[in-house]
Structures are given as structure tokens and as C-alpha cells.
Amino acid sequence: MTQEKTQTAAPAAKAADAPAKKHRLLKISILRYNPQDPDSVPHMQTYELQESDSMTLFIALNDLRDEQDPTLQFDFVCRAGICGSCAMLINGKPGLACRTLTKDLPDEFTLAPLPAFELIGDLSVNTGKWMRNMSERMETWVHAKIDEVDLRKQEEPMDPQLAEDIYVLDRCVECGCCIAGCGTVRIRPDFVGAVGINKIARFRLDPRDERNDADYYEVVGDESGVFGCMSLLACHDFCPKDLPLKTQIAFIRRKMAEQGMGNYDKVLPTQKGKKAIPIKPIK
């Protein structure tokens, strides 16, 4: 019995004698600018912070604001990569602060707000305004086949694989990382971006939506839509939800090209009936 206690205590004693893990001193340079303050000018401000175990950028920024600079502006809501609020440029690349571990970054790194969006202050940008304008323009909601929905009626069953395909595309959190990494957006501010094209792909799959390719061509069949994409595919590389953006952009572009080259006639708004191309789910 004594021998067993000695053997059990030995590893514990070794663990106690082991030196404590040494944490790094991080130097974080943040782009500071408050557009509401006429005296504010864009500048980089460097903070020093002691790294802790499993520290994320979200934790680091909160520590900086709580302990060093309460004026530091940045956004967060869920802290779990679901809301997309904490998107920013991390060492020049778009990403989510709550899903970025400091251990994956060098001792010195920079943080900046996402480009292409209205700046609120420091690292905070108004992605919601851009996303709402895009959603209204693209009409990203189900265009139901009936005028009134009966909530008491049982919903029509959907093929499980089709439901899964829709879910995959519907995981977009509108964080803006794809827009921040897009070269076309820098040239054409009216470009709908990968997020808009992905939404068209999502509703094109949905059997509850009555629209078809002729309808979708009206909203994405030009250079501000799918034909404006330069296929740099930074959107695909930086998407924190790993959405198949490059596949959907290529697919929608091909379908819109078929619609445009086919010169299909559209049904006038005063006429009844479906338009030229039926909805075909992705196989």
C-alpha cells in the first residue's frame, strides 16, 4: 500500500517541480481613428499585453479595453464565431477575433478595421448597413408560391439531402470577411460580392421559392453581379465558416451565362405564368 502511494505521488511531485509555462509579451499595433471626432487622425497605436493560455484576440482586446484603454472601439456579441461582429483585419487578413488564437500569431502583429465598410471607430465598422442594402437589392427572402401563409398547415416535407445543401449555404454569418478580401469591391462599390451570390445560390435551391433563372438574371446578371467577379477567390480563402464560395460563384455564373446567351423571353409583370428557366437543384 505504501509503495502504491509512493508511485502515485511521484508524477505529482514531478509536475509540481516542473517550471511554469512562460507566456509571451505581445505587442499589438491597432489602427486608431474616430471619424466622429474632427480632431482625430488615423494612426497606429501599440499596446503591450501578457499572453495567457488559450487567449483569443477577443480576450486580448477586452483586456486592453478593461485595463489599458477604455476608448478602444471594437464589436463583439456571441464570442463563438456565430454573429460575425468581431471581423477585422488581422495582420492584413480578414478574420474573426473570437476564433483567432494569439498563439497562432507572432509576438508583434497589427489589427485594422475591415475595408469597404463604413467606419464607426477604430476596429468597428457598419457591416449591417452594407448587408441590408445588399439583401434588399437581391431580394434575399423566400418568394412564396402562395399569397398568404397558413401557419396552422403542416409544412411540406423536404428531401433530407436538399435540406442539407441549403443549410450548408445558409451558414453565412454576414461577417464581411469575403467583402474585405474582394478585389472587385475595391473597383466597383456596387458589387454584390460572394455573400450576395451565395444567397442567390441558396434561394435557387429552395423549392419553396417560385423564382427561376430569368428572375435571378435580373439581379446578378451584370458586372455588379456574378460577371463582375475577377475570380481571385480571396472570399473563399478567408471565409471563417468555410462556405463553398468558389463553387457557388462558378455555378451561378454558368447558369446566368446560359440565361443571357439563350435570350429567353421574360413574362411581363402584367402576365401570369412562370418565366423561362425552371429551378434545378445542384447535383
d(Cα 213, Cα 121) in Å, to the nearest integer?
41
pLDDT in tens, 110-147: 999 999 999 999 999 999 999 999 999 999 999 987 77
pLDDT in tens, 41-77: 999 999 999 999 999 999 999 999 999 999 999 999 9
pLDDT in tens, 17-28: 555 668 899 999
Q: Is 50 exposed, middle or buried (0-12, 13-18, 19+ CB in 10 A)?
A: exposed
Q: What are phi and psi of 217, to 5 degrees?
A: -60, -30
pLDDT in tens, 112-122: 999 999 999 99
Please give the single-letter amino acid code of residue 195.
V
d(Cα 89, Cα 114) in Å, to the nearest integer?
6
The owner of cell 503591450 is: 48
d(Cα 276, Cα 264) in Å, to the nearest integer?
6
Are 138 and 199 in contact, with CB atoms under 8 Å apart? yes
pLDDT at 276: 37
pLDDT in tens, 195-254: 999 999 999 999 989 999 999 999 999 999 999 999 999 999 999 999 999 999 999 999
* Count of residues making up the chain: 283
Location of each CATH 3.10.20.30 domain in the chain:
25-125
Please give the single-letter amino acid code of residue 163.
A
The grid coordinates of residue 195 equal: 455573400
**This prediction's pTM:** 0.82
**279 has pLDDT over 70:** no
Count the Cβ atoms, other than its own, within 10 Å of residue 93: 14
Report which of 190, 199, 177 is spatially closest to residue 249, judged by C-alpha positions: 199
**274 has pLDDT over 50:** no
pLDDT at 252: 96
d(Cα 162, Cα 219) in Å, to the nearest integer?
24
Mean pLDDT of the chain, nearest integer = 88
pLDDT at 123: 98
The CATH code of domain 25-125 reads 3.10.20.30
pLDDT at 126: 97
Q: What whole-number percentage of the chain has pLDDT above 70?
A: 85
d(Cα 5, Cα 197) in Å, to the nearest integer?
65
Architecture category of domain 139-144+158-262 in CATH: Orthogonal Bundle (1.10)
d(Cα 209, Cα 207) in Å, to the nearest integer?
5
Element (H, E) at 254: helix 245-262
Of 1-15, 151-165, 252-266, highest mean pLDDT: 151-165
Location of each CATH 1.10.1060.10 domain in the chain:
139-144+158-262
pLDDT at 270: 43
